[in-house]
Amino acid sequence: MLNEETRRELNANPNTLYIGADVGASEMKLAAADRQRNKPLEKTLEPFDDVGLMDWLKAVRKGLGLEAGPVVFVHGAGRDGFSLHWWLEMLGVHSVVVDPASIETSSRRRRVKTDRLDARLLLTKARGYFGGDGGVFSVVRVPSEEVEDARRVSRELKALKEEATRGKTRINGLLAQKGVKLALSKDFVARLKEVMTPWGTSLPPHLKAEILRQVERLELAESQIAQLEQAHQVAMAEGATDADRQGAKLVQLVSIGMATAVTLPKEFFWRDFKNGKEVGAAAGLTGTPRVTGTSTDIEQGISKAGNSRVRTLMIEIAWMWVRLQPNSPITQWFYARVDGTKRSKRKNIVAVARKLLIALWRYATMDVVPEGARLKTAN
């Protein structure tokens, strides 16, 4: 992410070339202009065509009468993830990844929308952004390739657990079609062969075969989950990376499990936060008040503009925290404000999630143990 000083330098350079890009699966629409020119020069290229892009940039500079200078490439965070950003940076181009949802558009019910117009819009917004108007769009903070690869670990673990949950639900649903309840234990397959319906018949052969295949998939998922968690434990014990060392500290807290200890450092704490407010905002857990004129203030709920994986995880952990950490001031704050209604609990648990995320960030990165928290090693 470009800092303020770099933004000013690029804007002050008369030879800076700005490019807005709408990138699709098979082509990217480009619109280029300098700081002053209103009418852009346009081109359609295949994604990751470095030769084509470099040749076009030379032609654009010649057409605009620009000397060799920096290139600013503004594009949305799309289907290719951050691959385009890393590729452009390798070519020496300043890549700016934009959150598409943050770009202001017309509120008219119908408006013309094409890839070419979207590229032009990004070009216009880019020149405004580098000119000092930071509110034209939100810039995505892009991780390094190493950090992004490390995040795959927690995401795979989450996907496997969801797959295992779906498998268990599917097995129970298939059995329920015949009025059968059978616990998923180690001897499940042996018991399945002998189980009878409430009206005294055995399970139909095709249904039984489908259940057995589902059991095989479930066992594979659970085996891979165990392997990943074992690998995480070894990595945390060795502490080869900052994320592993942070995870080793987090897992010592009561109510924090392996999934949380893996996810937060690799998914979230790699960013350099200045304070707790930035932590809450990056997870989308901050409020969005609406105050217009002399009307009554309206709280619209949390922004949900940040990392959805971390936000969902923290809501789950917040419920565990208030149950298993009774001496924590965060827990006491929660129970002092709930009145027993579901709405009150849901509203305040979000605040707990925000407070807890900030506390865990300080613990993982600054060794500040959350006040009143119990550690597993102390039990």
Q: What's the alpha-carbon Rg for the chain, to the nearest Å?
A: 27
Q: Is the pLDDT of residue 378 over 60?
A: no
Q: Got the DSSP string for 165-226? A: HHHHHHHHHHHHTTT------TTHHHHHHH-B-TTS-BPPHHHHHHHHHHHHHHHHHHHHHH
Given pLDDT bands bounded at 50, 70 and 90, which one contains residue 131? confident
Q: Residue 317 has what pLDDT?
A: 95
Q: Residue 270 has what pLDDT?
A: 92
Per-residue pLDDT reduced to its tens digit, 184-222: 999 999 999 899 999 999 999 999 999 999 999 999 999
Q: Is the pLDDT of residue 379 over 50?
A: no
Sign of the alpha-carbon torsion through 344, 346, 349, 350:
negative
Q: Got the DSSP string for 251-286? A: TTBTT--HHHHHHHHHHTTTS--SSHHHHHHHTT-S
Q: Residue 38 has what DSSP assignment?
A: S
Per-residue pLDDT reduced to its tens digit, 265-278: 999 999 999 999 99
Answer for the pair 86, 80: CB distance below 8 angstroms, yes or no.
Answer: no
Q: What's the pTM value of the predicted model, to 2 decimals?
A: 0.81
Task: Compute the distance between CA of residue 84 and CA of residue 19 in angstroms, rounded to an integer.
Answer: 14
Extended beta strands in the chain, E state: 17-23, 28-33, 41-45, 71-76, 94-98, 287-290, 298-302
Per-residue pLDDT reduced to its tens digit, 312-357: 999 999 999 999 999 999 999 999 999 878 888 988 999 999 999 9
Q: Is the pLDDT of residue 61 over 70?
A: yes
CB contact set of 166 (below 8 Å; sequence gap of 6+): none
Q: Is the pLDDT of residue 148 over 80?
A: yes
Q: Residue 88 has what pLDDT?
A: 95
Nearest to 130 by CA among 54, 74, 58: 74
Answer for the pair 167, 221: CB distance below 8 angstroms, yes or no.
Answer: yes
Per-residue pLDDT reduced to its tens digit, 27-51: 999 999 998 877 899 999 999 999 9
Q: What is the mean pLDDT of the chain?
A: 90
Structure tokens that stand for 104 in this block:
């202001």
